[in-house]
């Protein structure tokens, strides 16, 4: 990579491993027939967009899922567990790589997230790694549901760029979603596609950062 001073990392399938197939199977088990178009890596129903941007609460999300599934008897806990099914964890060594990158560059986290997953993640980090959150690995960590905007919309990238006074051409963005990378490219950032959190260490090594 050329003239990199800043790195913006996505979270899911870059640092933290997720499995969309597990979410598909879990939603099917709740009675949602077309789980692929309802929620997948490439597309998702507007209900998820609203959750990702904090426009609806967890309770409203659960009620929405009950409506789509036709399972009025489904509990909040059943829906929460299905929604969290795709969350696996941070492979050993990824946090150490983040700290190494932070010692060399200005680093940031930019994650499409939501109230339910965020709560799970914070509990996971405390339980498995003994840390309160991700703030120690970055100069600043940004989550869509706390910002009221989400990727791939330009506004969330422009907010981070302007807030942190980043030069786009000197900024690398790493994400697992091509549609997110496309927006970043249009704004002048250098981009790299991540295929799995399992390969994060090899990806960074290969970039020779």
Give me the active site residues, please.
Answer: 10
Burial of 204 (0-12, 13-18, 19+ CB in 10 A): buried
User: How far, in Å, CA of 160 to CA of 64, rounded?
Assistant: 31
Locus of tokens 């990392």: 9
Report the DSSP pairing between strands 6-9 and 171-175: parallel
> Strand, coil or helix: what is 143?
strand
User: How far, in Å, CA of 42 to CA of 205, rounded?
Assistant: 27
Beta strands in 10-156 (DSSP E): 17-18, 87-89, 106-111, 140-143
Tokens of 80: 């929460």
């Amino acid at each position: 990579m050329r003239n990199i001073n800043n790195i913006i990392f996505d979270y899911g399938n870059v640092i933290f491993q997720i499995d969309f197939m597990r979410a598909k199977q879990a939603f099917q088990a709740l009675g949602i027939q077309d789980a692929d178009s309802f929620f997948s890596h490439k597309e998702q129903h507007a209900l998820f967009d609203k959750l990702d941007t904090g426009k609806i609460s967890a309770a409203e999300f659960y009620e929405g899922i009950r409506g789509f599934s036709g399972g009025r008897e489904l509990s909040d806990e059943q829906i929460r567990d299905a929604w969290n099914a795709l969350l696996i964890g941070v492979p050993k060594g990824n946090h150490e790589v983040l700290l190494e990158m932070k010692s060399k560059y200005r680093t940031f986290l930019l994650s499409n997230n939501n109230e339910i997953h965020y709560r799970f993640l914070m509990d996971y980090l405390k339980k498995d790694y003994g840390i309160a959150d991700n703030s120690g690995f970055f100069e600043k960590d940004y989550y869509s549901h706390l910002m009221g905007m989400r990727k791939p919309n330009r506004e969330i990238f422009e907010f981070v760029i302007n807030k942190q006074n980043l030069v786009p051409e000197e900024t690398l963005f790493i994400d697992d979603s091509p549609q997110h990378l496309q927006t970043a490219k249009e704004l002048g950032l250098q981009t790299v596609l991540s295929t799995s959190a399992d390969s994060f260490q090899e990806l960074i090594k290969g970039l020779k950062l």
